[in-house]
Structure formats: C-alpha cells, structure tokens
Chains A and B, each alone.
Chain A
Amino acid sequence: MGLKKPMAVTLVGWALLGGLQPALADEEDNQDRAARWKQLQESLFPHRQVLDAGGIITVDAPPRALDAALVPVELHIAANKPVKSVYLVIDDNPAPMAAHFVFGPKADPRDLKLRVRVNAYTNIHAIAETQDGQLHAATQFVKAAGGCSAPAGPDDNAALADIGRMKLRLLGDFNAGKPMQAQLMIRHPNFNGMQMNQITRYFTPARFIRTIDATYDGGQVFHLDADISLSTDPVITFGFVPHAKGQMKVVAQDSSNATFDHSFDVPGTPAG
C-alpha cells in the first residue's frame, strides 16, 4: 500500500491521540511486527506453543483510535471450549503484557471489555488459555500513538483526590443462575511513570493498579494482573453468573500497595 496519508492532526488531539504517524511500507512493518511477536512469545510464554485463534477467541479494537490514552478493547471467547485465563498483549507498548485475567468458578468469560493506552502503531494480541493448557492467540492491528507518554489530565493532584472510588453497573436484567454482564469502574490515575512535568523535568512517579479480585458471595469471578497499560480510571466489563441475590466484592491493589475494596449488592447498584 506504500505511504499512507496521515490523518488530520487535531490540536487538542495531540495531548491524547498523539499525532504521529508511521509511514513505512506495510511489508516492512509486517516483518518487524512478526519478529516482535515471535520474541514476545518466547519471553512471555517460554517453551509453550501459541496456536492460532481457532475460533476460540477474537479481539476487537478500533483500527484507528480516537484517543490513544483510552483505546477500548473487547475480547470475545467462544463457549465451545473451557477457558481458564486470557492474556492481553500490546506488542509495542513499553510493558507489552497489559492484562492477565484468570477466571474463577463464578465467571462467564465470554465477553470482556477494557480500556488501554497504546503508545505506537501496534498489534494487540489476545491469548486464551484453555483448561487443557493450550494457548490460542487472536490479533488486531491498532493505529494509535503517544498514549503512554501523552500528558495525563491537567492536574495530577486532582487525579489523586478521588482515588479508589468504585462503581459497579449491572448491564441487563438479573436472573438467578443466568449469566450477566457488569461494568466495574475504579477511580485511579494509573500513572505509568512516562508523563513528564516539562518545568521540573521530573516524571510523575508510576502508580498503577496491579491486581483486581472480584468475588461473588465468596466465589472467585476473576483475578486480574495488570500493568501500566490500563487507562486512567480503569473500566472493566465482565460476565458472571449470580446463583442468587448476593454481593460482588472487589479488591484492588496498586503499585504503592494501597488496597481499595468495595462490596456491591446484586441486583441493585448502590453508588460507589
């Protein structure tokens, strides 16, 4: 396809989009990306074979992101093979392993949504780990740049004021024993250590959510290991199976070892 016409660089968008476009021939890029992915597989999944998606998992992200600091990513898992965990890898981010969800007995793993930072034009890989230990990877190419080093909100202190506040929104109707979707929102700046104060020349120290555990009446829904790629104020949409009315408990821990927890009645959404 050769040189691509750059999209309009919007003035406001710079802060969030990053207006920078790579323009190499696709073929050269594709070779680079294949080599990068091979290298990542060896380091992230040593001595394991990563198979094709094989209809088990798909990943969906906007091909051209509106906001590189907030790229919505959806993972869909076919119900035909039990999956115990899902990895999200953003190949060209500084810390490629963005998230690892391990599903518990209360999970409905079929649909997951999260928001991530994307630092450069990159492949995003979603890897499903089946109960029998196989890895299946799906890929989506995303055009976005600058999402990691782009300045965050204008005021770091304001971002910390509300830290740890949570909301849980139930999507759809509650029926005991039937899977349903929930959206978890956590106030957290998720500073990734790459935003520089241009006057002091210091980087805002990294402080980001490392783990989230969601349990329903004591039974695990998911455990998430996260890294610096989750967007500010992380939002995660996930499925679970409520056997009866009960409580969703969420515990999040950040890289400063602060713990935030909240319990939510299901059904019913008390303000967080």
Chain B
Amino acid sequence: MSANRYLSRRNVLSGLCACGFAGLTRAAASAAAAPAAAAVQTFATDEVAAGIHIRRGVDEDATAANEGAIANIGFIVGRDAVAVMDPGGSLVDGQRLRATIRKATSLPIRYVVMSHVHPDHIFGAGAFTEDKPQFVGHARLPNALAQRGEYYRMHLDQILGTGRSGPVINPTQLVKDQSRIDLGGRILEITAHGNAHTDCDLSVLDPQTGTLLLSDLLFVQRVPSLDGSLKGWLTELARLKNVNARRAVPGHGPTGVDWPAASRDLERYLGTLQRETQQAIAKGVDIGQAAKTVALSERDKWTLFDDYNGHNVTRAYKELEWD
C-alpha cells in the first residue's frame, strides 16, 4: 500500500516537528540505583497520598523531545509489594519509572495496571517484564490491543525513532467487573468500566487513603479525548462521583485533585459536547459543519483544544445521530 511511501517521509519530518521542549520530567541522574539501572535516569514524582507516587505528564502530544512522557504515571507502595499504574508512554518512559521505583524501594513490583489501550499510558510496560508482574487490564483490553496495538507501535516509532516505542504487552490478569490486588496491608480495588473514554477503562481505588486513580476517565486542564462513548462516559463519571474518595489522580493534568470537585470541568465539557451535538443533529447541521461549531465555548478552558475537539465532535455525532 502507498502508506509505506508516507512512512519514510514522516521519518524525515520527525526532526522538524520536535518543538525542543525537554522540561517537566525534571530528569536527574540516579546515583543510588542498582548497577543494572545505573544508566537509566529517574524522574521526580509527587507523593499525592502516603505511598502513592505520581509523575506529571506534559500537556503535549508525543514528540521525540518529550519521549512520550505525556501521561500521569506512577506507583503505589504496600508493605510487601509495589503496583504500577500506568507503566508509561514509551519504553524509556517505563524504564525511568522503574528506576524511580527502585530508588524509592526494593520491594518487588508485582502488578502493572494498564488503565486502557492508549499508547501514552501503556507502552512503558515492556520495561517491567523482568519483574514478572501480573499485567492487569480490562477484559476488553486484549481485543483492543489486537485491533490497534501494532498500529500504535508503528506510529509511535515514527515519532520517537525506530524501536523506541516499546513492545505491545498483553495483560495477564483480566478484570471483568471488579477485582482486588493485595500489596500487603494495602488492598487496591480495581473496577472495569463500561464504554467511556475508551471501551477498556480501569480505575483503581486505594480505600486506605481515599485516593481514586482514574487515568483518562478524568482529564484536568488538558482537553478530554473521546474514543469510547460520550453517554457511557457521563454515566461512569456519575457513578465514580459516588465512590468514597477525597482525592483523585487524573490521567492528564495535576497529579492530585480534590474528588469529586475535580470532575466538574470534565462533566461540563462532555455535557456541552452532548447538548450541542444533539442540537446540531436536530437542526440538520451536517457532521463536518458540526465539528467546526460545537463546544467552542470550551475553547479557552483547555490546552490542546483545537487538536482534539473537532475529532470529539465527530465521535459524538456518530454516536448520537442513531438515537
């Protein structure tokens, strides 16, 4: 197919689109790490609650300069073991997360939670295979990875350089509804959600600290991206607001936010998207025109709005026009 023609051209271009931003990972050489990890940098994390460490991703799309480190990722330390959520946006992002964990604790990494199929959250999983953890995913994640994993890997390689995206790792432990993982004196409750941000979203609750790790079920400051179901997302959000937690960790934005207060902006955006898309459909405004006009009142409230909103409208329109 002619797509190959474009692959090679894109490689030529990847250098041009790098914006030279090296920033927020605040990389620092690891002095105390084990010899095997000596060459791997660590990064700064925020301890959003006791034993929960989160690295803030940059509000950008993946580039060679940011090395795919664009999502909030981190780890939870129990008495006996460590759980990762999420493993990161590229192999090197995952390697740095692992080095950061090894600097903090020598406890074994028993679980790597993969919150959903998007590459900015899970392509670091390959950095953890040597720990032989359970890779925990939604029951629908294997199917989503079958459809898209290799496709994502190819495109991430385009941006980061060949071989730098990391392998596609399949989950070894599937969650259909709810599940628990025990880190020793710390039991995490994992919920598999209905079709929302994607069709394979997991959230993790740490009841001990009242912390809800939502990954991309919650966007703060960065414009949400819709890849599942608009109505489903609003349903899951309403359900999550009733979870007994006082703090949440969003997939993008600040590492720790008040819960459920921090759901307000996302709910407003999704509600506006739904209402105005329904209005456009009712008025016979076609899908292309709707993509240019719906939810523009949200434009100044989010970063990367222009990169995602039109696409979100297209998704919403396709879903709602069948009602």
Contacts and interface: CB of A to CB of B under 8 A. Distances in A.
Interface of A: 3, 5-6, 8-24, 62, 66-67, 70, 72, 74, 92, 94, 113, 115, 119-121, 145-146, 149-152, 154-155, 167, 169, 171-172, 181, 183, 185, 187, 194-200, 233, 235, 237
B118 A70 contact: no
B314 A66 contact: yes
Interface string B1-40: 1110111011011001100000000000000000000000
Counting chain A CB atoms within 10 Å of each CB, the highest count among B120, B146, B158 belongs to B146
A83 to B, nearest CB: 22
10 contacts: A6-B13, A9-B62, A9-B159, A11-B120, A11-B225, A13-B307, A14-B119, A15-B152, A21-B6, A23-B12
A66 B311 contact: yes
B6 A22 contact: yes
A3 B287 contact: no
Contacts of A121: 6
B6 A9 contact: no
Interface of B: 1-3, 5-7, 9-10, 12-13, 16-17, 61-62, 70, 117-120, 140, 142-152, 155, 158-159, 168, 198-200, 225-227, 284, 286-288, 291, 304, 307-308, 310-311, 314, 318, 321-322
B62 A154 contact: no
Nearest to B14: A6
Q: Is the interface of A mostly helix, strand, loop or mixed?
A: loop
Given A8-B304, A19-B10, A171-B284, 15 more contacts: A10-B311, A12-B118, A19-B155, A20-B6, A21-B9, A21-B13, A94-B1, A146-B3, A149-B3, A152-B147, A154-B148, A181-B284, A198-B149, A199-B142, A235-B287
A19 to B, nearest CB: 6
Contacts of A197: 146-147
Contacts of B16: 3, 5-6
Contact of A12 (B7, B286, B311): B311
Contacts of A167: 322
B5 A150 contact: no
Nearest to B17: A6
A24 B144 CA distance: 34
Q: Is the interface of B mostly helix, strand, loop or mixed?
A: helix
A11 B119 contact: yes
A11 B287 contact: no
Contacts of B314: 66-67, 70
Contacts of B6: 20-22, 120-121, 145
B284 A199 contact: no
Given A145-B6, A172-B284, A199-B146, A10 B140 contact: no
The 3 closest A-B pairs by CB, nearest first: A72-B288, A198-B150, A199-B146
Contacts of A18: 3
A11 B13 contact: no
A102 to B, nearest CB: 23
A198 B304 CA distance: 30
B65 to A, nearest CB: 13
A67 B177 CA distance: 32
Contacts of A24: 9
A199 B310 CA distance: 31
A120 B4 CA distance: 10
Contact of B199 (A154, A195, A199): A154
A115 B287 contact: yes
B3 A145 contact: yes
A92 to B, nearest CB: 6
Contacts of B310: 66
B288 A62 contact: yes
B307 to A, nearest CB: 5
A62 B287 CA distance: 11
Given A11-B61, A20-B158, A22-B5, A154 B318 contact: no
A139 B158 CA distance: 31
Contact of B148 (A13, A17, A151): A151
A233 B318 contact: yes
B128 to A, nearest CB: 21
Contacts of B117: 154
A194 B147 CA distance: 12
Contacts of A196: 150
A9 B61 contact: yes
Contacts of A3: 13, 16
Nearest to A71: B288
